[in-house]
Amino acid sequence: MNGEAKGVWVYLQRDKSGLTRDSQEVLAAGRKVADKLGQDLVGVILGEHLTKVVRDAISYGADRVLYVDSPAFADYFNLLYVDAIFSMVKERLPYVFLFAANELGKDVAGRVAYRAQTGLATDNVQLEVEDYFNPQMKETFKNLLIQIRPDFGTRLAKIYTPRQRPQMATVRPGNFTPLEPDPSRKGEKEEFQFKAGKYPVRVVKVTELPVPKVDLAKADVVISLGLGILKDKTGRPRNPRDAYDLAVKLKQVFRERYGMSAEIGASRSLVYAEIKELEGLIGRENQVGQTGATVSPKLYFAFGISGALQHKVGMQRSRKVVAVNTDPGTPMMQMAHYPIVGDLYDELPRLIRLLEGTPSAA
């Protein structure tokens, strides 16, 4: 779509407690872009009984909220939702439109981008606003949204949408910190008038999936294991279950002695290796990285993890990183606040004794 585009839009979602954490993060991302462009930040939300969540969106940074409040939108139905959102886009034409890169956000964003005949950059870990010179066109495009995401290799790719509007992107959860809510903040609220059409299908029942056993995103401490657990420092094979049991012990120490929530994570390589000894213990729910969870714990442990870019983008917002590896030259050891060159099968027990306050720890 082309024309005079204005405004930075962010698609918002809600749960039983109100505005979701992912939505708060996208509002923070949108606020950064809107301030650089000198444009308004507009929250877009669909649902029923939206009075509180609309107010929350303003307190978290939105200048305006465009919403549809109707019983027809009580449950998510993608055909209906996309029709309503595209109607907004077609009528108002935003300059930028951001979505959370979660299941619902990805479903909506791709469909809206297709209808609007514009580009969509997915799973972005950072956003900037810059001028862009295209050498083929010999033309400079002013104030473009620079969409930054991991490449297939070990690089970060910058993606531009020079001509089409809106410039659309999904933002990977965990890469932006929500703004502090300000209940006194003022903003505009506008109810968008949309009349639902008839569809050949309808939502008859909504069943909530069971809560995952592993909640990496909320953990204070993440203890991650990589393929390095398969060998000791001499290269001899080790039973990876031993490393897992030590990680469980470390997790218990943090929970019981320090009152900190802790979870066990894993590199993509370890998860996809499908090691028999770890069957039922390490799976996709433990994976940290580009195709797994993005975490920002107070403390991140990397045992036997080399630190490829795909893993780093999932944990680079950790406050403190402790890495144990026999190779001091790995990327993870280079980025760690506390790199420990050594055998994890020696260092992990020593660390546990130290945290327990055992006299023999020294």
Distances (CA, A) of 218 to 225, 281, 314: 18, 19, 14
Q: How confident is the model at residue 110 (pLDDT cuts 50, 70, 90)?
A: very high
Q: Tens digit of pLDDT for each residue in 224-264? A: 999 999 998 888 999 999 999 999 999 999 999 999 999 99
Question: Taking the domains of the chain in order of start, what are their residue ranges?
Answer: 8-191, 216-361
Cα separation, 355 vs 353, in Å, equals 6
Task: Render 154-174 in DSSP notation, one character per residue.
Answer: SSEEEE---SSSSEEEEE-TT
Distances (CA, A) of 62 to 8, 20, 26, 36, 238: 10, 15, 11, 15, 53
According to CATH, the topology of domain 8-191 is Rossmann fold (3.40.50)
Tokens representing 325 are 């590896």
* Per-residue burial over 277-301, b = 16 or more CB atoms within 10 Å of its CB, e = otherwise: ebeebbeebbbbbbebbbbbbebbb
Element (H, E) at 1: none
Tokens representing 228 are 């390095």
* Amino acid in position 136: Q
Residue 143's pLDDT is: 92
Q: To 5 degrees, how large is the angle CA 15–CA 17–CA 22?
A: 55
Q: How confident is the model at residue 359 (pLDDT cuts 50, 70, 90)?
A: low
Q: To 5 degrees, how large is the angle CA 231–CA 329–CA 126?
A: 105
Q: Tens digit of pLDDT for each residue in 289-330? A: 887 888 989 999 999 999 888 898 889 889 999 999 999 999
Q: How confident is the model at residue 208 (pLDDT cuts 50, 70, 90)?
A: confident
Given CA atoms 343, 348, 349, 350 in this order, what sign does their dihedral have?
A: positive
Q: Tens digit of pLDDT for each residue in 143-167? A: 999 999 877 655 778 999 998 999 9
Question: How many residues appear in the chain?
Answer: 362
Yes or no: is domain 216-361 CATH 3.40.50.1220? Answer: yes
Residue 154's pLDDT is: 57
Cα separation, 2 vs 167, in Å, equals 11
- Determine if residue 304 is left, alpha or beta; phi over 0 gives left, psi from -120 to 50 gives alpha, anything else beta: left
Distances (CA, A) of 300 to 101, 149, 214, 289, 297: 23, 22, 15, 13, 6
Q: How far apart are the first and last CA of the chain?
A: 66
Tokens representing 87 are 């109607």
Identify whether the C-beta of residue 95 lies closer than 8 Å to the C-beta of residue 10.
no
Tokens representing 139 are 């033309």
pLDDT at 116 > cutoff 80: yes
Q: On the CB side of 60, how many CA atoms lie within 13 Å of its CA?
A: 27
Beta strand ranges found along 108-194 (DSSP E): 120-124, 126-134, 139-150, 156-159, 167-171, 188-191
Phi, psi of 57 (to 5 degrees): -60, -40
Tokens representing 207 are 């069943």
Tokens representing 179 are 């703004």
Identify whether the C-beta of residue 335 lies closer than 8 Å to the C-beta of residue 176.
no
pLDDT at 48 > cutoff 60: yes
Residue 70's pLDDT is: 93
Q: How confident is the model at residue 2 (pLDDT cuts 50, 70, 90)?
A: low
> Strand pairing of 262-266 and 221-225?
parallel
